[in-house]
Amino acid sequence: MKVFSVELHRVGMPLVRPFQTSFGTQTARDVLLLRVRTDAGDGWGECVAMADPVYSSEYVDGAEAVLRNYLIPAILAAPSVTAASFANTVRFVVGHRMAKAALETALLDAELRASATSFAAYFGAVRSRVDCGVSVGIAPTVDALLEEVARYVAEGYRRIKLKIKPGWDLEPVAAVRDLLGPVREETGATGAVTRGLLQVDANTAYTANDIEHLGRLDPFDLLLIEQPFVEEDIATHIALARAIETPVCLDESIVDTAVAVDAIERGATSIVNIKAGRVGGYLEAVRIHDACAQRGVPVWCGGMLESGVGRAANVALAAMTNFSLPGDTSGSSRYFAEDLTEPFVLRDGQLDVPTGPGSGVEVREDLVREWALRPVETVGR
């Protein structure tokens, strides 16, 4: 495939409600979308970097700069590039995985549209629908949290994830466990469904001094505790995993397959959160899925408040066999009143895996223009 040009679209998407985590409160999603123009046709990709470098060292202005100055020029200069050859073409750039992932996804979309293959088929997906969970932000009060959780349960979400931080952990977790009732099997419209699934995500807010405190979460029968300590600190996650019953799951720490394998073998993580953006793209995400499957480690699909463009690819990924826990693959309405593609709508706690060519969704260019934060920038001819 020969790439002619790449468009950078910056779009401001209002959130339906503020989303508070241990690293801050978001009220809007500043999305960077890429459109690649190639001799095989066009493709779209979404960059998951946030407006500020508070979840990852990457952030959207930085991603845009590295795309404009390094990644896009490299693929424009290459005689030919495919999603599979892309990582090698941009190997000279250290890190910047979210920026790389966005461009690789756009190439993959163009390529698969041209060959009438869906992302799901390309990934080797085994399901046509995926179980969905929802990530619930830190609330002003426990009562407000319970109200929000009850709404998501009524909407059908199959797993609740609570954001926690020091001072907002045992009390909200106890209250939500009480609201959900115990973990149990029920027979629903689509067969057996496990109810009462609950997990927590600390986004690195704790330290080694908190190990004993985090052990007090054990009575609440959580699926997992996600990323309590800073991303470089595998050792403290190992110590926690040995000290408590709740399974430890890494998110921020897992930046590629080698790190995933190392963290698993050392006992730092017994479940892995996979986010394609964090690991440099869907091809690396598939490799992590496979490495975890080989080692008997279940995975689930994380979320970064994606528009429909990124959500479509996540849902396809989550349809792979070892994605055995519900993901943060929520419906579009969890975050947005209107989406940049046709919306993803929850049915019985699940989303349909797109079946059309490439991502299987169409970008609403009218909305991309209407919500544009600045004029489109085109790199290349």
Q: Rank residues 109 and 201 by Cβ distance to ligand NPQ and give the closer one.
A: 201
- Binding test (CB under 6 A) with ligand NPQ, winner from 199, 203, 269, 359: 203
- Binding test (CB under 6 A) with ligand NPQ, winner from 277, 303, 308, 358: 303
Which two tokens mark 312?
């479509």
Determine the 3-state secondary structure of 327 from DSSP.
strand
Provide, rounded to whole angstroms, the least separation between the CB of residue 145 and ligand NPQ. 15
Partner from Mg ion, ligand NPQ, none contacting 6, C-beta within 5 to 8 A by type: none
Q: Kindly list the distances between the CA atom of residue 169 and the CA atoms of 25, 163, 172, 326, in Å, as whole numbers in the listed order.
A: 17, 8, 6, 22
Residues 355-369 as b or e (16 or more Cβ within 10 Å = b): ebbbbbbebbeebbe
Q: How many CB atoms lie within 10 A of CB 191?
A: 6
Does residue 304 touch ligand NPQ according to CB under 6 A?
yes
d(Cα 179, Cα 189) in Å, to the nearest integer? 23
- Binding test (CB under 6 A) with ligand NPQ, winner from 89, 118, 135, 257: 135
Please name the residue that has the structure tokens 């997992």: 224
Contact yes or no for 52/24 (Cβ under 8 A): yes
Q: Is residue 275 flagged as an active site residue?
A: yes
Does residue 201 touch ligand NPQ according to CB under 6 A?
yes
Whats the size of the chain, residue-wise?
381
Determine the 3-state secondary structure of 131 from DSSP.
strand
Q: In which region does residue 311 sit, left (phi positive, over 0), alpha (psi from -120 to 50) or beta (all else)?
A: alpha
In the shown chain, the binding pattern of residues 180 to 219 toward Mg ion, with x for contact by CB under 5 A and - for none, equals: ---------------------x------------------
Provide, rounded to whole angstroms, the least separation between the CB of residue 111 and Mg ion. 30
Please choose, from the candidates 104, 122, 45, the residue with its C-alpha nearest in 3D space to the C-alpha of residue 311: 45
Please choose, from the candidates 218, 33, 224, 27, the residue with its C-alpha nearest in 3D space to the C-alpha of residue 133: 224
Q: How many CB atoms lie within 10 A of CB 112?
A: 22
Q: Rank residues 21 and 269 by Cβ distance to ligand NPQ and give the closer one.
A: 21
Q: Is residue 161 flagged as an active site residue?
A: no
Does residue 55 touch ligand NPQ according to CB under 6 A?
yes
Q: Rank residues 7 and 231 by Cβ distance to ligand NPQ and give the closer one.
A: 231
* Total residues in contact with ligand NPQ, by rule CB under 6 A: 15
Does residue 329 touch ligand NPQ according to CB under 6 A?
no
Residue type, 276: A
Partner from Mg ion, ligand NPQ, none contacting 206, C-beta within 5 to 8 A by type: none
Provide, rounded to whole angstroms, the least separation between the CB of residue 26 and ligand NPQ. 4
Does residue 231 touch Mg ion according to CB under 5 A?
no
Does residue 306 touch Mg ion according to CB under 5 A?
no
Q: Which residues bind ligand NPQ (CB under 6 A)?
A: 19, 21, 26, 29, 50, 55, 135, 201, 203, 251, 302-305, 328
Q: Catalytic site residues? A: 163, 275
